[in-house]
Amino acid sequence: MSEQSQVRAFYSGKNFFITGGTGFVGICLIEKILRTIPDVGKLYLLMRPKKGKDISERLEEFPGNPVFEKLLETQTKDVFKKLVPVSGDVGQEDLGLSETDRKLLIDNVNVVIHSAATLDFEDNLRPTVKINLLGTRRVMQLCKEIKDLKVMVHVSSAYVNSYLTEAHEKVYDAPEDVEKVIALVETMNDDALIEIEPQVLKDHPNTYTFTKHLAEHEVMNCSDIFPCTIVRPTMIVAAWKEPRPGWTCSKVGPQGFLMGAAKGVVRRLPLAKQNIADYIPVDIVVNQLLVAGWHAAKEKSGLTVYHCSSSTQKPFRWTMLESQVNEMLHKYPLKSAVWYPHLEFVPTLWMFRVSAIFIHFFPAILLDMLLRLTGGKPILFRLHKNVWASLGRLEKFIFNEWRFHNPNTRDLCKTLNSTDSELFNIDISDIEWVEYFVSLHLGVRRYLNKEKETTLPAARSKDTVLLIAHIIWQILIVTLLWYFVACLTGLTMTQSAWAPPTIYLLYSFL
């Protein structure tokens, strides 16, 4: 007879309050709770109207989300009655809650999971302080008022300490006085705030990591009042196992560039391929939030920080996938591809910029012209222009390597019985990265590019056509450049027969 799940037993009958429930982690967390904790109470979701839809209309869209396909194999849509939308916004005073909704939460909630944040690296201090820092303060204030709070789980980021090359599972000293930062935001105009931003951030690369770092101190300040825990994921990627291998709704990181590579529009990637890239599947993150919450409630004292990471336990380097990535793109191609896929890694930013001019921008101009002629919307040049503009902000994260030590997570794993180890797996040590990335690519194909497995035969036929078109394109480009070389040197094309192999060789370095 198998052991009873301690984690499920703890959460049974408990009511949750979840912020960020419509995001990548949040929607996966909701699915996991509904599927594996059938006796859970209500899930109160902080939501705001979006794109002309009120919160009840947004909630009605949940059953159609592919993340819930596995859940609906065994449950009816009645399971979604456990979800209760609450109108609010972490960026507003008192979370934007009405008095009635605030009382509802105070009287009924037992577990709080705070996941909402702005992840835009371009944002200045005002929105990030308002959402990431003050939003967390407002959640903690609500937690102080909740009558029967069992635990509060804060979703942070391992990169709050990205100014260190090695980080441990502890809350590091605040980079700045929090009240001073809030006062600056409240009293200074945008121009003045942007001007002093570098002095305020100090070693932090952007306002996101800075404000998320300060937010951890808001949680720590309450750790002697009620049970709290902090989970710091690294770069969150598609699901490893649950709810389906490869499930994703995020275009951030490898999911985004594999999406573009499969389309044939992303052909070069700036990357330190020998460095450790710390990726963590979203289902491991979700499981760890629930396990960490259970453990903190059981311990009842102290604040434990967990790195949800792979760099020191099962490290991934792009050298592991380099030889297989193009094979993968052609084994599972897209019917909607616009050019023959071929992805190469570029070791420096300046080399990428040179390559991008010839490999990305020139073809983008051509394809955008074809889109205009066929009544489509030209988007490729703008897409590459946006990528170009973002490279400076992302350079630190592209070419640096971090090691996030995770002994607390490993110890937490050991506290789980056999049932919970399977039901709420948080052990990354068994992942096979090459196999995982095949699943990730298939997930990107299905969930981001919206192409089912049935389209594969047609996609493979198109891939062959695109290969022929690509070869013809290369011949035309080399011939055109050969002609220019002959004109410039005053030689005939026969006399300059050395030019084509030279041009092709130089072109291959781009």
Give CB contacts under 8 A, 24+ apart, made by 168-171: 168/405, 169/232, 169/304, 169/305, 169/306, 169/307, 169/405, 169/406, 169/407, 169/408, 169/409, 170/305, 171/216, 171/217, 171/220, 171/230, 171/303, 171/305
One-letter identity of residue 94: D
- Give the pLDDT of residue 1: 46
The pLDDT of residue 388 is above 70? yes
Q: Judge if pTM exceeds 0.85.
A: yes
Residue among 91, 89, 152 at smallest CA distance from 127: 91
Q: Average pLDDT of 408-433?
A: 96
Nearest in space to 230 (alpha carbons), one of 172, 277, 147, 276: 172
**pLDDT tens profile 340-360:** 999 999 998 888 888 888 888
Cis, peptide link before residue 243, omega less than 30° from 0: yes
Rounded CA separation 167/159 (Å):
9
Report the pLDDT averaged over residues 147-157: 97
Largest CA distance in the chain: 88
Question: Does the structure show a pLDDT above 90 at 31?
Answer: yes
- What are φ and ψ of residue 152, in 5° steps? -125, 125
Query: Is the pLDDT score of 284 beyond 50?
Result: yes
45 and 84 in contact (C-beta within 8 Å)?
yes
- Strands 43-47 and 235-237 turn out to be unpaired
Q: What is the mean pLDDT of residues 321-341?
A: 94
Q: Which two tokens stand for residue 265?
A: 């529009």
Distances (CA, A) of 282 to 160, 337, 436: 19, 27, 13
Residue 232: name the closest of 117, 381, 336 by CA. 117
For 6-247+276-316+401-448, CATH number? 3.40.50.720
Which residues are paired to 17 by β-bridges?
Answer: 44, 112
Dihedrals φ, ψ of 53, to 5°? -110, 135
The per-residue pLDDT for range 444-474, each reduced to its tens digit, is 999 999 999 999 999 999 999 999 999 998 8
Residue 144 — very low, low, confident or very high, per pLDDT cuts 50/70/90? very high
Q: Per-residue confidence at 371, pLDDT binned at 50, 70, 90?
A: confident
Higher pLDDT, 98 or 52: 98
Q: What's the confidence (pLDDT) of residue 509?
A: 67
Domain boundaries, the chain: 6-247+276-316+401-448, 452-510
Instruction: Show the tokens assigned to 15.
Output: 């009511």
d(CA 400, CA 403): 10
| CA-angle at 89, arms to 84 and 94, nearest 5° | 100
pLDDT above 90 (res 139): yes
The residues, any chain, with a CB within 8 Å of residue 59's CB and separated by 6 or more, are 45, 47, 80, 83, 85
Instruction: Give which of 330, 321, 202 is closest to 273, Cα–Cα.
Output: 321
For residue 342, what is the DSSP state? -
Tell me the pLDDT of the chain averaged across its residues. Answer: 92
Cβ proximity of 314 and 429 under 8 Å: yes
